[in-house]
Chains A and B, each alone.
Chain A
Amino acid sequence: MKAVVSVIGRDSVGIIAKVSAGCAESGANILDISQTVLNEYFTMIMIVDIKALTVPFNDFVDRMSALGRREGLEIHAMHEDIFNSMHRI
């Protein structure tokens, strides 16, 4: 089982480190990262493995949102199935 963590916000030093630390705290294993910076805006998409999460998935979602609020970023963790449903037949 995987989840997609999306991070959007103004670029600054250490965003990836902070988000990665947040994932590690909950036991989410990062499988893939892609990121771009466009007009000072930072967009990162992380695919994480959530099989070994140490907390329920919905708590992980809350933790990531809270991290986003602290850092002035928009962070959303969403279960992969919504993307599978929309973009795969």
Chain B
Amino acid sequence: MFETKDILETISMIREEKLDIRTITMGISLYDCQCDDPKRLAVRIYDRVMSRARDLVRTGEEIEKKYGIPIINKRVSVTPVALMAGGLDVDGAVGIAKTLDRAAHELGINFIGGYSALVQKGFTNGSRTLISSIPQALAETERVCSSVNVASTKAGINIDAVAEMGQIVRETAERTKENGSIGCAKLVIFANVPEDNPFMAGAFHGIGEPETVINVGVSGPGVVASAIRRKGACDLTEIAETVKRTAFKITRVGQLVAREASERLGVPFGIVDLSLAPTPAVGDSVAYILESMGLEKCGCHGTTAALAMLNDAVKKGGVMASSHVGGLSGAFIPVSEDAGMIEAVRCGALNLEKLEAMTAVCSVGLDMIAIPGDTPAEVISGIIADEIAIGVVNFKTTAVRLIPAYGCKVGDTVSFGGLLGEAPVMPVNTRSPAKFIARGGRIPAPIQSLKN
């Protein structure tokens, strides 16, 4: 039998501390939809996504009710569309984006990921077409998410791609200026992108994945913050222990949901992603966890150390709770999606440079950060290059999701609504890296990539 205190703990984690399953993401391979007629290609992709993910939302809702735990998002990721885009022109590629968008609407899922290209070493014809179609595709669809991997530890950094992505980000911001440049919230630039990530906007179905797969992303910053607060005065070893225990429990729920979804849908289970993913709801913030450890405000000196410990403890606790761990697995620090981060930026405690330092020790990177709309493309490329270099040298995933909010200046606020939240526009160092970026070429893979 269960102990009453365990039952009450679970109930209060869910009801008061906002424990939830952030996403069940079904990965779907589109390889054999390949076809030289763009119209038929679109039809085949539509049919594939609709037939495989038909029961995803209903199944998610049933599991939600059975265990009494909210499953916030049900999503789909597909094979990087660049791989299918070799024979397409820009209009043809945008047509595929619209097809994916229509499927997402009809399935009732809020995002579909995989409008993506992998160009860490160079461009194929398909990836060139796809990348140049991104601004239009994101402006003319609502639920499609796009990502571009511009570097890896093994391949080095494709600076030509970094330069181009600076312009693509600017253009996407302009094309979606009526809605706070929201297109940029659905575009991620990666180094060392994981191929089984269930979280948007960076999810796609990687080339080594099976036909169809179920990946689950857990959440629970509120639970971790409450557990630390309950510990009161104790040393950091004990805090790390508390985080580990809490991460274990959170991840076990993720594993349970993943296994059940996989069985009910008849689709293999891929991974559980052990990420602490904040939401704009008060109390569901990674910044508050850091502050509950004793920082006056997230961003003050000591923040990087606190985040490093948190990120490590989450992984140590979570890894034993799931048979397969993957995806991004770490703490997310998106600014617009985290009430504590927003406050820290507003009061001047947290700036872009500190965020960059923090990304060296946690999952992902410069995420959901609004910058002035007139930031030049080459400055955006410079920010991307710096962030990507951190990932490449440290053998980890890093990413950039910047919103150069059209017509906005430092101190303004851009609102995206829902889980994407709102972002205060942050100042950027505007000294120009233009000549460095314009050199192009590839930054060679670092020596630590030569492991064989």
Contact = CB atoms under 8 A, between A and B. Distances in A.
Interface of A: 4, 6, 8, 32, 34, 36, 43, 45, 47, 57-58, 61-62, 74, 76-83, 85-87
Contacts of A61: 65-66, 68
Given A6-B7, A34-B4, A45-B4, A82 B256 contact: yes
B8 A83 contact: no
Interface SS of chain A: strand
B411 to A, nearest CB: 43
B106 interface: no
A81 B67 contact: yes
Given A86-B253, A87-B6, A58 B65 contact: yes
Contacts of A4: 2, 7
A48 to B, nearest CB: 12
Contacts of B234: none
Interface in B248-303: 249, 252-253, 255-256
Contacts of B65: 58, 61-62
A85 B252 contact: yes
**SS class of chain B's interface: helix, strand, loop or mixed?**
helix
18 contacts: A6-B8, A36-B4, A45-B4, A47-B1, A58-B66, A61-B66, A76-B11, A78-B66, A81-B67, A82-B69, A82-B256, A83-B6, A85-B252, A85-B256, A86-B10, A86-B252, A86-B253, A87-B10
Given A45-B4, A82-B10, 5 more contacts: A45-B2, A47-B1, A80-B2, A86-B252, A87-B10
Contacts, number: 62
Pick the most buried of A32, A58, A81, A86: most chain B CB atoms within 10 A of its CB.
A86
B32 interface: no
A43 B10 CA distance: 14
Interface in B1-35: 1-4, 6-8, 10-11, 15
B67 A43 contact: no
**A-B interface, 3 closest residue pairs, ranked by CB to CB distance from nearest:** A78-B68, A85-B252, A82-B67
Contact of B2 (A8, A36, A47, A76): A47
A77 B451 CA distance: 53
* Most chain B CB within a 10 A radius of its CB, from A43, A62, A82: A82
B209 interface: no
A47 B6 CA distance: 13
A36 B8 CA distance: 12
B386 interface: no
Contacts of B252: 85-86
A67 B65 CA distance: 16
Nearest to A80: B2
Nearest to A58: B65
Contacts of A77: 68
Given A76-B11, A82-B10, A82-B253, A87 B2 contact: yes
A86 B249 contact: yes
B62 interface: yes
A65 to B, nearest CB: 10
Tell me which of B6, B10, B65, B253 has the highest count of chain A C-beta atoms within 10 A of its own C-beta: B65
From A61, A79, A81, A85, name the one whose CB has the most chain B CB atoms within 10 angstroms: A85
A43 B8 contact: yes
B68 A83 contact: no
Contacts of A79: 66-68
Contacts of A43: 8
Contacts of A76: 11, 68
Contacts of B7: 4, 6, 45, 83
Contact of B6 (A58, A62, A86): A86
B4 A82 contact: no
B68 to A, nearest CB: 4
